[in-house]
Amino acid sequence: MEHVRFDADDRDPIERIPESCGEVTVGCTDVAGIVAAVIKSSEALRAEHTALRGTVEELEADQRKVSQASDEARMLSERAIDRLGQGTDLIQSSLGQITDLLELVATLTQHVTGFAAAMDQVRRCSQDIEQIAETTNILALNATIEAMRAGDAGRTFAVVANEVKSLAGDTRRATEEIVRTVDTLGEEASSVIAQIENGAEASKEAKTSVFQIEQTIQGVAELVEEVDRHNDEIARATGTISGHVGRVQHVLDNFDAAAIENESKLQRVHGQMGELEMTSSDMFDSIVKAGLSPQDSAMVEQAKLCAREVERIAEEAIERSELEAGQVFDQNYVRIEGSNPPRFRTALMDWANTNWRQLLDRVESEHPAVMGVACTDVNGYLPTHLTKHSQEPTGDLTHDTHSCRNGRIILHPIDRKAKRSSAPYMMAVYRQEGDGKTYRVVRNVYVPVYIAGRRWGDFELAYSFD
């Protein structure tokens, strides 16, 4: 048989049982707090998930609108291309006719220029005819003179000479008329030529404009076709995005189902942990009451002394008529306006702040293990608290949760159990609230407080040996 050697300084395992039980109780409470934090985090995650689902649904709705708008844009671009094609054909036909007209103007310019040259030639011919008529007139005059010298023999020749002279005069007059007419035509032709030349210049500019119009129309057509191609790409991309959004929605639905299932399981676990926490507190209470944990028993004795001191201070004040029993047991909790977390005022509050707070501060300062000291009535109301936890509120939730606890009503399941207990004291382990975001696990002694023979509430002493 093998013998196992124990060191002399090893403690009896039985002596370690209370300590281990205390640690188990603390651990259960801590785990319950962790589970509660996980549930809270899960609820926050679910809220964000719900918001995300709403966002995805809005995205899906917007995506459908984009898809519809893209389809409409494609239809419009196709119609625009069709109408632009028809318009382009008409415009190009019109531009062709305009080009033909401009060519006709150019040809007319050439013809008018030729007409002007012909008029100049007619004018020169008229001048030649006039000169011939002048010469003929001189010859006729000479013939008349010779006929007069010949006498009767030249009479017939004189008649001919006169006729020739008369013909020369008619020719000259006709020539002058022709010259005047030609001059008039020349002036009109010059005016027409000037206008035609201006028209020719304008036609050149028109040709340039026509060319620019053709290029512009071609550019517009290319632009519309490019828009149509982009619309087609947008439509395809929209279809792809719609598929992705659908898959995201499916994933979110699956996540939602899994999250609901996990939350349900967490709630069950939290309930079970709550029961285990209460059971472990009962075990801790039994161990301390059995005298198996000297350290905790010492804290119990300290709490009992303080509870008796609380009772003495109140009863002496009642005897001196400084306090009425009605004030002590006032349960008309009036909400302090603007307080968050909510705080309440009763007829006892001012007296408790003046008379009980000093005792609470002294007890906390005398023992380093003490984490908190409070007087709570049967409904969990704290008429006063430690000075450091009775500060003026600032409106900052973190500050007010940590430093403005006087006037709070705090009644957890373990507190309700203590209020129902008629034992001389009750032990428990609970999560002491910090700033609303953090907590610490402490051991707590509840000692009933009786004033004027009536249960008022409890004196609570929270401590930790860690």
- Which of 434, 425, 352, 337 is closest to 387 using CA atoms? 352
Q: Are residues 247 and 297 in the same domain?
A: no
Q: Could you tell me the CATH number of the domain that includes residue 391?
A: 3.30.450.20
Q: Are residues 78 and 205 in the same domain?
A: yes
312: buried, middle or exposed (CB in 10 Å: 19+, 13-18, 0-12)?
exposed
Please tell me the predicted confidence (pLDDT) of residue 8: 39
User: Residue 158 CB: number of other CB atoms within 10 A?
Assistant: 17
220-279 pLDDT tens trace: 777 767 776 776 777 677 667 766 666 766 666 666 666 677 667 666 765 666 677 677
Please tell me the predicted confidence (pLDDT) of residue 439: 74
- Which of 373, 380, 361, 365 is closest to 418 using CA atoms? 380
Q: Measure the CA–CA gap between 436 and 439, rounded to whole angstroms.
A: 8
Between residues 21 and 294, the one the model is more confident about: 294
- Which of 356, 345, 359 is closest to 323 using CA atoms? 356
Between residues 409 and 106, the one the model is more confident about: 409
Question: For residue 278, is it within any domain?
Answer: no
Please tell me the predicted confidence (pLDDT) of residue 84: 67
- Which of 257, 205, 231 is closest to 53 using CA atoms? 257
By the 8 A CB rule, do 325 and 318 touch? yes
416-460 pLDDT tens trace: 999 999 999 999 988 777 777 777 888 999 999 999 999 999 999
Q: Are residues 367 and 434 in the same domain?
A: yes
> Bridge partners of 409?
381
Q: Are residues 247 and 298 in the same domain?
A: no
Query: Is 108's pLDDT higher than 90?
Result: no
Query: Is 74's pLDDT higher than 50?
Result: yes
Q: Are residues 206 and 73 in the same domain?
A: yes
Type of residue numbered 43: E
Query: Is 7's pLDDT higher than 60?
Result: no
328-348 pLDDT tens trace: 999 999 999 999 999 999 999
Q: Are residues 218 and 367 in the same domain?
A: no
271 token code pair:
């309930």
Q: Are residues 203 and 315 in the same domain?
A: no
- Side-chain-side CA neighbours of residue 349 (13 Å): 19
Question: For residue 194, is it within any domain?
Answer: yes
138-183 pLDDT tens trace: 776 777 777 677 766 666 766 776 776 677 677 767 777 777 777 7
Collapsing DSSP states into helix, strand and coil, what is residue 16?
Answer: helix
Collapsing DSSP states into helix, strand and coil, what is residue 432?
Answer: strand
Q: Are residues 226 and 308 in the same domain?
A: no
Between residues 12 and 329, the one the model is more confident about: 329
**% of the chain surpassing 90 pLDDT:** 33
Query: Is 61's pLDDT higher than 70?
Result: yes
- HEC readout, 72-88: HHHHHHHHHHHHHHHHH
Q: Are residues 119 and 214 in the same domain?
A: yes
Collapsing DSSP states into helix, strand and coil, what is residue 119?
Answer: helix
The count of structural domains within the chain is 2
Over range 293-304, report the average pLDDT: 94
Over range 7-36, report the average pLDDT: 57
Please tell me the predicted confidence (pLDDT) of residue 339: 94
User: What does each C-alpha distance from 288 to 60, 282, 447 come to in angstroms?
Assistant: 63, 10, 14
Last residue of a domain, one of 224, 251, 278: 251
Query: Is 3's pLDDT higher than 60?
Result: no
Please tell me the predicted confidence (pLDDT) of residue 283: 84
Type of residue numbered 315: E
By the 8 A CB rule, do 33 and 431 touch? yes
365-406 pLDDT tens trace: 999 999 999 999 999 999 999 999 999 999 999 999 999 999
User: What does each C-alpha distance from 78 to 166, 224, 226, 234 come to in angstroms?
Assistant: 86, 9, 11, 15
Question: For residue 30, is it within any domain?
Answer: no
Q: Are residues 335 and 207 in the same domain?
A: no
Question: For residue 211, is it within any domain?
Answer: yes
By the 8 A CB rule, do 307 and 447 touch? yes
- Which of 302, 314, 301, 303 is closest to 456 using CA atoms? 314
- Which of 208, 134, 118 is closest to 169 using CA atoms? 134
pLDDT, mean over the chain: 78
By the 8 A CB rule, do 299 and 61 touch? no
366 token code pair:
């005398």
Residue 14 zone, left/alpha/beta (φ > 0; ψ -120 to 50; rest): alpha
Q: Are residues 322 and 433 in the same domain?
A: yes
Please tell me the predicted confidence (pLDDT) of residue 191: 73
Query: Is 364's pLDDT higher than 80?
Result: yes
| DSSP secondary structure code for residue 8 in this structure | T
Please tell me the predicted confidence (pLDDT) of residue 398: 92
Range of the domain at 169: 53-251
User: Residue 136 CB: number of other CB atoms within 10 A?
Assistant: 17
Please tell me the predicted confidence (pLDDT) of residue 385: 96
- Side-chain-side CA neighbours of residue 119 (13 Å): 19
Last residue of a domain, one of 251, 272, 303: 251
Q: Are residues 321 and 241 in the same domain?
A: no
Query: Is 120's pLDDT higher than 70?
Result: yes
